[in-house]
Structure 1
Amino acid sequence: MTGIAGIARQVERRTGIKTTARDVENILSCLQRVSHFWEVVYLSQKPFNIVAETVGILINEGLLENREDGTIGLTQAGKELVEVYRIYPKRHYACPHCERRGLDLSEFNELIKRFEQETKDRPEAVIDYDQGYVTSKTVISRIAMMAERGDLEGKKLLVLGDDDLVSLAAGLSELPQEVVVLEIDDRIIDYINKKAVQLELPVKAYKYDFRQSLPGEFVRAFDTFTTDPPETIEALEVVMKRGLAGLKGEGCAGYFGITKAESSFVKWREFQKMLLNKFDVTITDIIEDFNQYVNWGYLLESIRDDYSFVQVKPKLNWYRSSMYRIETVSGFSGVDNEPQECELYLDNEALIYKPVSLTK
């Protein structure tokens, strides 16, 4: 039987993602608490492909069983393994009221209801642009956080990509002076503009691709930007450049989410080094699980199908991201705004990527 370190080496070899024995222990800890694959991905806070490969290897090693009802669970040998390694059931103490966000939304209850009512006919998420939108409570939590930090009321807000429809929620809140959306999907552009006119909101959406330079009229024009970026390192860099190019100067803020399902801590470190070394900003907040995503319809058809347990429909909003807030500091004078070709959506940590061992 392969030991924990050996399993980690196998996972790293198959995925091309740095994997440690602690990662495997973490996944085994989660498997003592939950029995659905997607719950393990959420609780472990590890990249999807690491969890999938680890579970697959555990099944092959006879440490885990894949049941007919789609659940997974430790075999007797697996139970003996966790006892030998002293791996205990995962503990989870998330606040049921604020869902880890640390925000009281009682003043926003009517806004949540109105937002849901006005966006019932929203465009569905499509795979073409790696879309997947967040829950209504998440959208309004973003509004509440920006408002609490002084980044929304009376301010000009730039939204880079908006399948979440944060722009409409901001408009409905009557807090920002102006909201500009730069979006690549014509369906969403048309939808936002139609709703903005219908509801008389100070919101306007324009066609835009992150890889293009930020249009001149939007450079140094905003107090705040918000985005839900693709998570390749190249994409993260180019999206940060566009958001920061839009900010007026010192003391302005940017908001965005980064997952753990598609970004390992190695990538987190690389991204944070980029933020601190390339741009004159500081990271003021990282709030875990802030953004909860509705399960998008194309999920199972777009991901790997070599493991049956992966092709089981999720029962919870498993895909979540941590909310980052950054603020420009002394010395900030804008950023490079040149066009930049890059891979936006695919790397070896992406959901729709096929692991290296399976593509040979």
Structure 2
Amino acid sequence: MDIKGIAEEVYRRTGIETTERDVEKVLSGLAGSSHFWEVVCAARKPFSVVAEIIEILKQTKLVKVDEQGDISFTPEGMEFLNSSRIAPRKDYTCPACEGRGIGLEKLKELLQKFDEVTADRPKAIIDYDQGFVTTRTVAGRIALMAGRGDLEGKKLLVLGDDDLVSVAAGLSGMPAEVVVMEIDDRLVEYINNKAAKFGLPVKAIKYDFREKLPEEYVGYFHTFTTDPPETLEALEVCMGRGLTGLSGEGCAGYFGLTRTEASLKKWNLFQQLLVGKFKVAITDIIDDFNHYVNWDYLLESIRDDYTFVQVKPRLNWYRSSMYRIETLSGFKGMENRSVPCELYVDKEALIYRPGKSVDKEKKVRYIKN
């Protein structure tokens, strides 16, 4: 089977459009690492696409998988790799800023204080598909918003906050006010307790973004930040809520979008939604800005039919690009009413299993804040 044939077979199995270039990126990742999660991180393709490509390579005896789940090329695989003129992927990311292009020297005190204050943070749980980012990522978000003029003296809306960006923002002393809208009662209580203890201008309320935005917060904020679920329905509703909360032209929204659960086709459709429906400009997309700490329930929540997938990650492999959008004259939020939508599962979701239906009751376990 050639590279084109592999791409066609992956599409048949997953229903996700897969190109020859996608296959080449996975092969290049495999040439540089035997660890599945490192390959997912390097390939920047949906999880199920990477898994199916590797499984096809295994079935065609181009790679083999040992008892520890490590993947290596067979002699036939090495010949295939060389004849296809595919080289191992090389990483040129700046180790100091981790590719964000933002120095954190001025936020050293904030980094230390944030770690101290949040040492007792609630554990990420499967009920809401939680997985929080690293401290350096949190500090990077604060620096990015501040550098763009979207934080100091501003009113900040945080839609979902297992990352505790609200606490970091409060500790920075920059925003005038921070309001967190969060579905997890544990986090609502935790954030409010920290705000009271440290005198932070932060308030958390319980909220499910499928419900209408509280009227007092419509058109109230200068900036919003969120980590949205990545079905197109959920992306539309989440962006709609954030934009509905903004006060006018020149306001900003920040959010992450992965390549692990969102193909470039989905990126394209979503970008059309942002520019066409909501009338905003995309000012920044910073690749791999957000690095997530590995969550304990990962292996129990994903497919278990491939041995190379059921391996504990040895790096913070789950990452997302940081978007910044800015409102234009005539920008639109959304009608402020309850909107039921599919939050959790589509063909590109981490928990999606090709050929298997997902129990509607089980979906409740996979809300991403």
Provide the TM-score with structure 1 as the length reference: 0.98
Is residue 179–residue 202 contact of structure 2 (8 Å, CA) maintained in 1? yes
**Matched ranges for 1:171-210 at <5 A:** 171-210=170-209
Q: Distance in 1 between matches of 2:231 and 2:112?
A: 35
Q: Deviations over 1:139-172 (max 9, x none)?
A: 0100000000000000000000000000000000
1:6 maps to what in 2? 5
Q: Deviations over 1:4-28 (max 9, x none)?
A: 1111111111111111111111100
Shift of 1:126: 1.2
Q: Distance in 1 between matches of 2:324 and 2:333?
A: 18
2:344 maps to what in 1? 345
- Provide structure 1 residue ranges, at least 5 long, that are not aligned to the other structure: none
1:37 maps to what in 2? 36
What residue identity is the alignment partner of 2:104?
A: L
Q: Distance in 1 between matches of 2:57 and 2:135?
A: 37
Q: How many corresponding residue pairs? A: 358
Q: Distance in 1 between matches of 2:349 and 2:145?
A: 29
Q: Distance in 1 between matches of 2:63 and 2:33?
A: 13
Q: Distance in 1 between matches of 2:184 and 2:344?
A: 15
Is residue 31–residue 89 contact of structure 2 (8 Å, CA) maintained in 1? yes
Shift of 1:68: 2.2
1:65 maps to what in 2? 64
Q: Distance in 1 between matches of 2:116 and 2:8?
A: 50
Shift of 1:83: 1.4
Shift of 1:335: 3.3
- Provide structure 2 residue ranges, at least 5 long, that are not aligned to the other structure: 359-369
Q: Does 1:140 align with 2:162?
A: no
1:91 maps to what in 2? 90
Is residue 16–residue 348 contact of structure 2 (8 Å, CA) maintained in 1? yes
Deviates more, 1:264-273 or 1:332-341: 332-341
1:164 maps to what in 2? 163
Q: Distance in 2 between matches of 1:270 and 1:205?
A: 32
Q: Distance in 1 between matches of 2:255 and 2:333?
A: 18
Is residue 249–residue 333 contact of structure 1 (8 Å, CA) maintained in 2? no
Q: Distance in 2 between matches of 1:313 and 1:56?
A: 18
**Matched ranges for 1:328-339 at <5 A:** 328-332=327-331, 334-339=333-338
2:129 maps to what in 1? 130
Q: Distance in 2 between matches of 1:124 and 1:49?
A: 27
Q: Does 1:232 align with 2:231?
A: yes
Q: Distance in 1 between matches of 2:354 and 2:112?
A: 42
1:153 maps to what in 2? 152
Is residue 242–residue 333 contact of structure 2 (8 Å, CA) maintained in 1? no
Q: Distance in 2 between matches of 1:46 and 1:151?
A: 31
**Matched ranges for 1:90-129 at <5 A:** 90-129=89-128
**SS of alignment partner, residue 140 of structure 1:** helix
Q: Deviations over 1:178-235 (max 9, x none)?
A: 0000000001001001111011100000011111111100100000000000000000
1:268 maps to what in 2? 267
**SS of alignment partner, residue 32 of structure 2:** coil
Q: Distance in 2 between matches of 1:69 and 1:343?
A: 36
Deviates more, 1:171-180 or 1:11-20: 11-20
**SS of alignment partner, residue 311 of structure 1:** coil
1:282 maps to what in 2? 281
Is residue 241–residue 333 contact of structure 2 (8 Å, CA) maintained in 1? no
Q: Does 1:256 align with 2:247?
A: no
Shift of 1:236: 0.2
Is residue 68–residue 311 contact of structure 2 (8 Å, CA) maintained in 1? no
CA root-mean-square deviation? 1.1
Shift of 1:336: 2.4
Is residue 27–residue 81 contact of structure 2 (8 Å, CA) maintained in 1? yes
**SS of alignment partner, residue 129 of structure 1:** coil
**SS of alignment partner, residue 267 of structure 2:** helix
Is residue 37–residue 72 contact of structure 1 (8 Å, CA) maintained in 2? yes
What residue identity is the alignment partner of 2:201?
A: P
What residue identity is the alignment partner of 1:21?
A: E
**SS of alignment partner, residue 55 of structure 1:** helix
**SS of alignment partner, residue 137 of structure 2:** helix
Q: Deviations over 1:236-282 (max 9, x none)?
A: 00000000000000000000000000001011001001101101200
Shift of 1:359: 5.4
What residue identity is the alignment partner of 1:147?
A: A
1:309 maps to what in 2? 308
Shift of 1:334: 4.2
What residue identity is the alignment partner of 2:85?
A: R
Q: Distance in 1 between matches of 2:336 and 2:272?
A: 20
2:353 maps to what in 1? 354
Is residue 243–residue 332 contact of structure 2 (8 Å, CA) maintained in 1? no
Identical pairs, percent: 63
